Structure 1
Amino acid sequence: MPTVAFHTLGCKVNFYDTEGIWQTFKRRGYTQVPFDSVADVYVVNTCTVTHTGDRKSRQMIRRAVRTNSDAVVVVTGCYAQIAPDEIARIQGVDLVVGNDQKSKIVDHVEAVLAERKPYLAVGNIMKANEFDELDVPYFEERSRANLKIQDGCNNFCTFCIIPRARGLIRSRKPENVVQQATKLARAGYREIVLTGIHTGGYGEDFEHYRLADLLVELERIDLPFRIRISSIEASEIDHRLMDVLAASNKVVPHLHIPLQAGSDPVLRRMHRHYTTAEYADTLRELRRRLPDLAVTTDVIVGFPGETDEQFEETYAFVRAQGYAQLHVFPYSPRRGTAAYKFKDQVPEDVKRERVARMIALGDDLRQAYAASFVGRDLEVIAESPLASADDEARRAYSHLPEASRMLVGYDGHYLRVAFEAPSGVPLESMVGEVIRVRMTGVGPGVHRAVFLEQVTFPDEEQAPGEEQAMEWGRMTS
């Protein structure tokens, strides 16, 4: 059987796309092998959000060529879309595929093999008007599944290259989203994350159908799973969506609502579609309807022209909003964006100082939000045993006598906790399942809880193996 190897850089959407590309190869008889192994085909799914993403993408392309110079080396993703000719000039690259052609990669590989010459399959992404369907009936990760519902973005923020790499919004047909969600729920996934390049913009290319309508349809699926929205803009949260969120039994009480800056002049230069007052009003109304809602956000510091006063405005605004978690980024100039040509670039040492202050504030806010849940019951999806968790979790709890019996997972508010499993129960039987715990303490990143009861259980009918999942995929297609 021919073999294929993958390496993915960048965001969750890219990782979803890679899973979908793998399914197309699998249906054509390929076996997947590790990227550092000798393979017949290598696929590098690239990122171009920053120049660092471009550089790392080139490194992985050259690594594939070195591993097997006789293989077909395929490059796709955002860097491939933005700079196809630059990638095609890299010695050993056989195929460059645009972001709207990923479902056709195997056909393009076969064309390369038949014609024995390199191939470029990259068009004008701005003319793409159909969602490129990739079926992903299961994931290697057991605890949650991503479900891509749209591609592209219409916002054109001045710091962002992504519309040029992904095109304008193209939403997945609602019936296809519901069908895919049903497959994933039947495969035993207890959390489905709705994701996309601009998830909250879902339906902008439809008539009278938006994200709120999709959530209503997903709510009707009579299977045990919860829904998390990967990200949504404050300007897209209207009263209709708030009504749906407040009435939902499936959507978790957590929204990631990017802020980027808490100063109106900076927001205008970024070409964001809200003011600080409008953003704060949206959060106030959300919290009125959804008490205990976890709101996480992104903040860019050091945007061109950001004065000390404007940074202090952002700092004060972030502190006042009481976020559950912050993702803080120093502004990184990106050729091809409007902000790249802006004057008054902020010195790197000033950026570093501002980033450090904002991260420290984020840590304080995260701890304060988590502390409000001490003594309360949470429903956590167990991610993994502590022994196979990341460094943060192991550093916090691996010294404890009960560490070998501990599991780590997230609750609906995106609180990450560690707890000891009951004796006599295999840890693997709890991974991916909903566990009720009581939070007993706050940690630096992973909080402490005690086990109360297991809510869901592996079920052969609802949690099939790989082949069963594929069969269900064929039955519901």
Structure 2
Amino acid sequence: MNEEQRKQQSQIKQVNPSGEKDNLDRLKQKTSDDFIKYFETTYEAPNLRKAQKRGKQEVKYHDDFAIDEQFQGLGVGKKYLIRTYGCQMNEHDTEVMSGIFEEMGYEPTTEAKEADVILLNTCAIRENAENKVFGEIGHLKPLKVENPDLIIGVCGCMSQEEAVVNRILEKHHQVDLIFGTHNIHRLPQLVHNAHLSKERVIEVWSKEGDVIENLPKRRAGNIKAWVNIMYGCDKFCTYCIVPYTRGKERSRRPEDIIQEVRHLAAQGYKEVTLLGQNVNAYGKDLDIEYGLGDLMDEIRKIDIPRVRFTTSHPRDFDDRLIEVLAKGGNLMPYIHLPVQSGNSQVLKLMGRKYTRERFLELVGKIKEAIPHASFSTDIIVGFPNETEEQFEDTLSLYDEVGFEGAYTFIFSPRDGTPAAKFDDKISMEEKKERLQRLNAKVNAYSAEAMKQYEGQIVNVLVEGESKNNPDVLAGYTEYSKLVNFRAPRSAIGKIVPVKVTEAKTWSLNGEMVEETAEVK
């Protein structure tokens, strides 16, 4: 066996560790050139070392997305189902994939038994999210046995993890298709290959993705819309897998974003949320002096009632952004600002590159410019070897800022990140006890913030029926407070005044009012 043949055999084992004989025989029959072409376009395992390399590659922009004619009728008479896990970015990716499916002729379904293609759009932030996905993969196995033509695919952030792909290849043979976060635009080719080959199709790029414009979208509703303004993250916090799974920061061009928002306004959308893994780093990779503040200054002039953004990083929350947000108008005064810890030493170990003092200084600047602003945050409890005193610094910072809400988590080690290798002597019992103490504070501050609204009139963007009562409508205020109230269904999609009659810990009850009144 020559060197080239040995290389091929090694690659075959990597992509097909289960040793499925039929697939191996087919691969071995290919010529050397055919195999290399097949491997590069169909099977590519993710590689965290490659993902860590932040080279100076030029980001390419493509304005000409179109589904190839040969794929346009592929889904006629067939149905698709996408189950989404994780953040708003994943939800928006699902909207794009749904749009592509429907341009191929597929129809959506919510019933797995009806589906011809099932995709799991996954999240890799915490171990619990991964466990849910692997549990769902197991639940889908009987459907695959019953219907061998069913295509089961795994995409999203988990697919960018080398260990996850290897686990699927070794243990979950019902999965036909694996692709990553950078190549959603290739969904037609990937589904076609999975249909045609009856073999596993794996395409996960460690290289950085391009920016693809004009992707079709099947948006969830016609009231609120997500708008991606950038992709990826360059921060490399020691606990976070996102820079590996989503790649380097890549900003969309301002004119493309503004055009999309104008189009949404023309369609009657009432709210847009600008999305990015690190949204206020927007523009740093562009060849122009232009940041999130500049973009929002232009978007605030568009006739759309509400504009939000998420998720921001304290390091990139600059004075220009604060200046623009202070102009108000359709820019909402609710700011989600993840702090993660209130102790400077822990923040250093996390790789956050700001101190407790710097964070409080930033919050003070925002409050000075926007006195009516409210804040929410993210906090990690039990980072490796966090002391009781360091945890108490987080509790005291929560008091000092006066956050009105928080997403709180116990530290979850992610394979391939530096923090996963940290020695950790804190027991899980102690971490859970700290989380309970923190959540008690979070609940208390939320209840206090809600209490202030009793008897007040607030503006509510009505999204639809309440989850718990179809006779009650629900929507959100400018400060992202959930309000449940009785009103005619004609109010859905409108911003209406509601008088708050009862405050709960995480929601408000109220009554719609007809007369014009001052709102809080």
TM-score by length of 1: 0.86
Distance 1:419 1:346, change over 3 A: same
CA deviation after TM superposition for structure 1 residue 318, in Å? 0.8
Distance 1:441 1:40, change over 3 A: closer
Counterpart position of 1:262 = 342
Q: Which moved more, 1:249-258 or 1:170-179?
A: 170-179
CA deviation after TM superposition for structure 1 residue 361, in Å? 0.6
Counterpart position of 1:11 = 87
CA distance in 1, matches of 2:442, 2:411: 17
Distance 1:263 1:163, change over 3 A: same
- Answering whether residue 510 of structure 2 is matched by residue 444 of structure 1, we say no
- The answer on whether the counterparts of 2:296 and 2:324 sit within 8 Å (CA) in structure 1 is yes
CA distance in 2, matches of 1:187, 1:16: 18
CA distance in 2, matches of 1:308, 1:224: 47
- The answer on whether the counterparts of 2:208 and 2:247 sit within 8 Å (CA) in structure 1 is yes
Percent of residue pairs bearing the same amino acid type: 30
Counterpart position of 1:44 = 120
CA deviation after TM superposition for structure 1 residue 155, in Å? 0.8
- Answering whether residue 380 of structure 2 is matched by residue 283 of structure 1, we say no
- Answering whether residue 319 of structure 2 is matched by residue 319 of structure 1, we say no
- Answering whether residue 193 of structure 2 is matched by residue 111 of structure 1, we say yes
Secondary structure of the structure 1 residue equivalent to 2:284: coil
Q: Which moved more, 1:16-25 or 1:77-86?
A: 77-86
- The answer on whether the counterparts of 2:450 and 2:507 sit within 8 Å (CA) in structure 1 is no
CA deviation after TM superposition for structure 1 residue 132, in Å? 4.2
141, 153, 159: which one pairs with 1:74?
153
CA distance in 2, matches of 1:454, 1:76: 50
- The answer on whether the counterparts of 2:98 and 2:218 sit within 8 Å (CA) in structure 1 is no
CA distance in 1, matches of 2:261, 2:216: 10
CA deviation after TM superposition for structure 1 residue 189, in Å? 2.0
Distance 1:171 1:312, change over 3 A: same
CA distance in 1, matches of 2:307, 2:283: 18
- The answer on whether the counterparts of 2:97 and 2:217 sit within 8 Å (CA) in structure 1 is no
Q: Which moved more, 1:75-84 or 1:57-66?
A: 57-66
Distance 1:159 1:240, change over 3 A: same
Distance 1:453 1:169, change over 3 A: farther
Counterpart position of 1:413 = 479
Counterpart position of 2:181 = 99
CA distance in 1, matches of 2:445, 2:224: 26
Q: Which moved more, 1:306-315 or 1:362-371?
A: 362-371
163, 166, 169: which one pairs with 1:88?
169
CA distance in 2, matches of 1:183, 1:63: 40
Aligned runs of 1:336-375 on 2, under 5 Å? Answer: 336-375=416-455
CA distance in 2, matches of 1:134, 1:345: 50
- Answering whether residue 264 of structure 2 is matched by residue 188 of structure 1, we say no
Secondary structure of the structure 2 residue equivalent to 1:252: coil
The runs of at least 4 aligned residues of structure 1 exceeding 6 Å deviation read: none
Distance 1:179 1:439, change over 3 A: same
AA aligned opposite 1:411: T
Distance 1:219 1:450, change over 3 A: same
TM-score by length of 2: 0.79
Secondary structure of the structure 1 residue equivalent to 2:311: coil
- The answer on whether the counterparts of 1:88 and 1:95 sit within 8 Å (CA) in structure 2 is no
CA distance in 2, matches of 1:69, 1:173: 43
- The answer on whether the counterparts of 1:138 and 1:187 sit within 8 Å (CA) in structure 2 is no
Counterpart position of 1:465 = none
- The answer on whether the counterparts of 1:159 and 1:333 sit within 8 Å (CA) in structure 2 is yes
CA distance in 2, matches of 1:382, 1:372: 21
Q: Which moved more, 1:136-145 or 1:282-291?
A: 136-145
RMSD: 2.1
CA distance in 2, matches of 1:32, 1:26: 8
Secondary structure of the structure 2 residue equivalent to 1:269: helix
Counterpart position of 1:211 = 292
Secondary structure of the structure 1 residue equivalent to 2:326: helix
CA distance in 2, matches of 1:64, 1:330: 29
- The answer on whether the counterparts of 1:158 and 1:337 sit within 8 Å (CA) in structure 2 is yes
Listed one character per residue, the Cα deviations across residues 326-356 of structure 1 (whole Å, up to 9, x for unaligned) are 2211112222211111123421111111111
Provide the aligned length of Structure 1 versus Structure 2: 433
Secondary structure of the structure 1 residue equivalent to 2:102: helix
CA distance in 2, matches of 1:102, 1:144: 23
- The answer on whether the counterparts of 2:98 and 2:217 sit within 8 Å (CA) in structure 1 is no
Listed one character per residue, the Cα deviations across residues 374-421 of structure 1 (whole Å, up to 9, x for unaligned) are 4443211112233xx24xxx6xxxxxxxx94x3221101112222332
- Structure 1: where are the runs of 5+ without partners? 395-402, 456-477
AA aligned opposite 1:410: Y
Aligned runs of 1:320-335 on 2, under 5 Å? Answer: 320-335=400-415
CA distance in 2, matches of 1:167, 1:454: 51
AA aligned opposite 1:226: R
